[in-house]
Structure 1
Amino acid sequence: MQIPPTSPAHILVVDDEPDLRTLYELTLLREGYRVEAAGDLLQAREQLESKRFDAVITDMRLPDGLGLELLRELVAQQRAERCVIITAHGSAENAVEALKAGAFDYLTKPVDLKQFRSVVASAILGTQNLSRPAAGDSGLGELGPGPTAATSTKSEKSDKSASAILQKLVGESAVMRAVKSRIVKVAGSMAPVLIQGESGTGKELVARAVHACSHRAAGPFVAVNCGAIPENLLEAEFFGARKGAYTGSTQDRQGYFQAAKGGTLFLDEIGDLPLAMQSKLLRAIQERSVRPLGSPQEDTVDVRIVSATHKELGAQVQAGAFRQDLYYRLNVIEIGVPPLRERREDLPALCQALLSRICKESGLAVPELTGAVMEQLRSHPFDGNVRELENILHRAVALGEGNDLHFEAPPQDFVAVPENLQAFLDQQERSILSKVLQETGFNRTAAASKLGLSLRQIRYRIARLNIETPGGDDASDESA
């Protein structure tokens, strides 16, 4: 039995300029969509009261208010329509404000029609994938036409992928439930995401979950370690290069932006990116185009940016090490990944998941996590977070016998904090000086030479620390 095709997606276009409104309508009609139009907020609200749409495309500035007002009303009413905002060219603040308010995406004037069609198609796909409420959503709000049979199959595959990767974010503590809920909530838009967290907390796993839960799940996920690329190769790596652009360039080279087309570009350790490259990255994100080295023209790019860092970017901005405009562009939506010490209740589940994977890779039986083992692990500080826990379990499996885990005693490399630091340091210095003076027969010149000091410096220290020396001030100095 054939499944009847669903009706075309329904789109509302809101713009007060008749020529532009007609251009958008004709472009969308050629793509096979049903299109309605409005010239101001009042007309748009009337349309929305009587009909449901798959997407709303609105200019930012309208005669009776801002398109942002319409967006906020859609969000407040939990409507299913995805909203695309059109802003004036170069108005980065408006674009960021729109994304933070819940816009699916934004376009800048003059609108590139190829990009226009791509953004609208992505918005409609995102709306259709909301045909069932996602975890953490309320499920409220009517939906537009459902997906076709082909879209349903693709959606089901994406759902399985998203579910699988969310399961890799092990833990049901309150902080981890909040992280998972936020991932599902932010995955549906094109807004840039900044993932903050200490080293070893699993920031890349969170980035992959954002991608897997989004309408871009079928597209590529390209992960880039910004701190691992030599500075002189950054531009070619990010934007690509044409044959002959530099010495040794024998063929066209694809950059990360081109490789991530239709998917997600994950910029790990974004805080390590040099200032000069930060400026070029900002332009690529704002203009949605890149110029490969040696190319006379720019390539339009269609990627979602997700970045991560263990550094405090706000402090780097204050120190002049990170561009403020890039920081605000990347940090539209923030996801904080908690350190392991703040979710110790997840430790048993984490250990079980990690041990299952470690033993599966090694072809070994999974050892029992006894109460004594868990007690030993709970006492560990885990400064290296989940990555450190994984390393500990790897060693415990390798060194264990049979079904037992063997944990090495942690090294005692810490020093107790003294109540009076200066007194503590003076005592350490006095002890060292006294020892060396005794070894040299209290010859100050020889002792100073051994410690890398001048005679004047060691005399000053002996006097300041009140170290008693036999035979007077410099009785044996000259015999060294």
Structure 2
Amino acid sequence: MNPQALIVDDEPDILDLLSMTLSGMSIDCVTAESIAEAERLLSQQSFDLCFTDMRLPDGDGLQLVKSIQATHPELPIAVITAYGNMDLAVTALKSGAFDFVSKPLKLRVLRELVEAALKLSPNRPHKNDRRSRDRLLGETELMRELRGKVAKLARSQAPVYISGESGTGKELVARLIHDLGARSDKAFVPVNCGAIPNELVESEFFGHKKGAFTGAVADKQGLFQHADGGTLFLDEVADLPLMMQVKLLRAIQEKAIRPVGGHEEINVDVRILSATHKNLAECVDEGTFRQDLFYRLNVIELQVPPLRERKADIQLLAEHILQNLAGKTHSVVTKLTPEAITALQQYPFPGNVRELENTLERALTWAEGTRITAADLMLPVATSSTKNTMSISALVEPEINQDLESHLEDQERAIIEKALNETRWNKTAAAKRLGITFRALRYKLKKLDLE
């Protein structure tokens, strides 16, 4: 049986165009010219996808989006908007629409949208059945809510801005949204925007043609082309230079890119997910991030909670991490003593889950046998005034017999290690975060035996 599509529009030309296009894709179409007629049809039969215009004789297309969300939440619905009316499209996405298309309708964009929507049809088997619980670990209410939101966002094509502190797992959340969605069979391409030198950022995103600049010895595809049909995850998006923000906005809106040195645009179909540990709204106020790009990326915001707000999950996470570490080394799983679990739950973890992973990996080095004690964890001593972040003095507790130079080196080592951990040992990004040059960081790594 062919997939069934419901088309809601009172313009004969649009109905004819959509019907012919979908029929060419072996999709049977049923048409309605009003919200009332659409709701009657929805109550009588099952559909695989729905298109609706935003202006209908008996109301607003958003009413139908909200109605379908309430009565048929599994049905992908796409809205048809007037050209350039991005505000209305964003409102529709926030209301639960799967995606949108603008008039005049582009057949390529239309076909791509339909193919993606059919993968999420309630009447068709889903290829990807991996459960979010298996990857977003935790049984606190915060984590249950997060998993529910991830599952819902996976059924949409809306841009999602993932906010949260460093180390909370923003990339894991982005990857899960991709894997549970219609694009799971295509590439998930993560990029750390803060780690790309300014002079190379355009070439990295859009690619370049041979001879476009010194060193361009061959044509090169950019990140957008690598992610075509899939998802592009822009981590630390606040670090993009303003020049690149303008070009990124155009690429997202036009769904097309132009390689450096190229003369023709290349169509791309990419879902954008973005994240940063910074407050992006504050960056807009400070003038370091474009407001129009912020609104385009921040259609839906998803906040990942810090580890200190879900301490009840720490034991489960720690045991999972130790199990993974044992699997990598083919050794017996090391257990935490009750005192060690208590110590972990009392520590504020400014570096969040990433810091927990590093702490446990370090503790395995010191542990005797198959038990990790509280002493093996070597947790910094937190002061009462450092709930969210650790002070420099708390990072390293000086010994009484330690001279000043050694103490300062220990503090410097701890700060550099923290920056490296937060950037996953990306030295370029760590140097930027520390406010020093890459060469200076290399010198300090060698001096402090951190290579």
Shorter-chain TM-score tier: 0.7 to 0.9
Query: What's 1:382 paired with?
Result: 349
Q: Is structure 2 residue 59 aligned with structure 1 residue 65?
A: yes
Amino acid at match of 2:62: L
Query: What's 1:192 paired with?
Result: 159
Q: Shift of residue 408 of structure 1?
A: 5.5
Correspondent of 2:38 among 34, 44, 63 = 44
Counterpart secondary structure, 2:78: strand
Query: What's 1:228 paired with?
Result: 195
Query: What's 2:4 paired with?
Result: 10
Correspondent of 1:211 among 175, 178, 185 = 178
Correspondent of 2:331 among 364, 371, 385 = 364
TM-score when normalising by structure 2? 0.81
Query: What's 1:24 paired with?
Result: 18
Counterpart secondary structure, 2:137: coil
Q: Shift of residue 291 of structure 1?
A: 1.6
Counterpart secondary structure, 1:37: strand
Q: Tell me if the contact between 1:54 and 1:80 (Cα under 8 Å) persists in the aligned partners.
A: no
Instruction: Evaluate the alpha carbon distance shift between residue 58 and residue 397 of structure 1 in structure 2; reply closer, same or farther with a 3 A threshold.
Output: same
Amino acid at match of 1:54: D
Q: Which runs of 5+ in 2 are unaligned?
A: 387-451
Q: Tell me if the contact between 2:337 and 2:371 (Cα under 8 Å) persists in the aligned partners.
A: no
Give the alignment's Cα RMSD to 1 decimal. Answer: 2.0
Amino acid at match of 1:115: V
- Provide Cα deviations, 1:263-318, integer angstroms capped at 9, x if missing partner: 11111111111122112111111111112222222222112111111111111112
Correspondent of 2:75 among 68, 72, 81 = 81
> 2:385 and 2:343 mapped to 1: Cα distance?
22
Counterpart secondary structure, 1:293: coil
Amino acid at match of 2:75: E
Amino acid at match of 1:348: Q
Q: Shift of residue 348 of structure 1?
A: 0.8
Query: What's 2:376 paired with?
Result: 407
Q: How do 1:342-357 residues align onto structure 2 when only pairs under 5 Å count?
A: 342-357=309-324
- Provide Cα deviations, 1:366-419, integer angstroms capped at 9, x if missing partner: 2221112112222322111111111111111012222233526445696989xx
Correspondent of 1:111 among 72, 82, 105 = 105
Q: How many residues align?
A: 384
Q: Shift of residue 174 of structure 1?
A: 1.1
Correspondent of 1:274 among 241, 245, 253 = 241
Instruction: Evaluate the alpha carbon distance shift between residue 299 and residue 98 of structure 1 in structure 2; reply closer, same or farther with a 3 A threshold.
Output: same
Instruction: Evaluate the alpha carbon distance shift between residue 81 and residue 168 of structure 1 in structure 2; reply closer, same or farther with a 3 A threshold.
Output: closer
Aligned-pair identity in percent equals 47
- Provide Cα deviations, 1:195-251, integer angstroms capped at 9, x if missing partner: 111001111111111111112111111101111111111111111222222222222
Q: Tell me if the contact between 1:166 and 1:209 (Cα under 8 Å) persists in the aligned partners.
A: no
Q: Shift of residue 349 of structure 1?
A: 0.6
Query: What's 1:95 paired with?
Result: 89
> 2:376 and 2:219 mapped to 1: Cα distance?
51
Counterpart secondary structure, 1:126: coil
Counterpart secondary structure, 1:114: helix
Larger-Rg structure? 1
Counterpart secondary structure, 1:178: helix
Q: Is structure 2 residue 326 aligned with structure 1 residue 326?
A: no
- Provide Cα deviations, 1:142-179, integer angstroms capped at 9, x if missing partner: xxxx43xxxx4xx34x11xx32x641222111111111
- Provide Cα deviations, 1:302-357, integer angstroms capped at 9, x if missing partner: 12111111111111112222122211221222221111111111111111011111
Instruction: Evaluate the alpha carbon distance shift between residue 37 and residue 319 of structure 1 in structure 2; reply closer, same or farther with a 3 A threshold.
Output: same
> 2:295 and 2:279 mapped to 1: Cα distance?
13
Query: What's 1:242 paired with?
Result: 209
> 2:81 and 2:385 mapped to 1: Cα distance?
58
Counterpart secondary structure, 2:335: coil
Amino acid at match of 1:198: E
Q: Shift of residue 14 of structure 1?
A: 2.4
> 1:413 and 1:118 mapped to 2: Cα distance?
53
> 1:33 and 1:93 mapped to 2: Cα distance?
30
Q: Please, which moves more after superposition, 227-236 or 293-302?
A: 293-302
Q: Please, which moves more after superposition, 225-234 or 365-374?
A: 365-374
TM-score when normalising by structure 1? 0.76
Instruction: Evaluate the alpha carbon distance shift between residue 99 and residue 408 of structure 1 in structure 2; reply closer, same or farther with a 3 A threshold.
Output: closer
Instruction: Evaluate the alpha carbon distance shift between residue 416 and residue 16 of structure 1 in structure 2; reply closer, same or farther with a 3 A threshold.
Output: closer
> 1:365 and 1:309 mapped to 2: Cα distance?
37
Q: Tell me if the contact between 2:363 and 2:378 (Cα under 8 Å) persists in the aligned partners.
A: no
Amino acid at match of 2:48: D
> 2:342 and 2:21 mapped to 1: Cα distance?
65
Correspondent of 1:125 among 119, 126, 138 = 119
Amino acid at match of 2:197: P
> 1:76 and 1:415 mapped to 2: Cα distance?
47
Q: Tell me if the contact between 1:290 and 1:300 (Cα under 8 Å) persists in the aligned partners.
A: yes
Q: Tell me if the contact between 2:50 and 2:76 (Cα under 8 Å) persists in the aligned partners.
A: yes
Q: Shift of residue 181 of structure 1?
A: 1.2
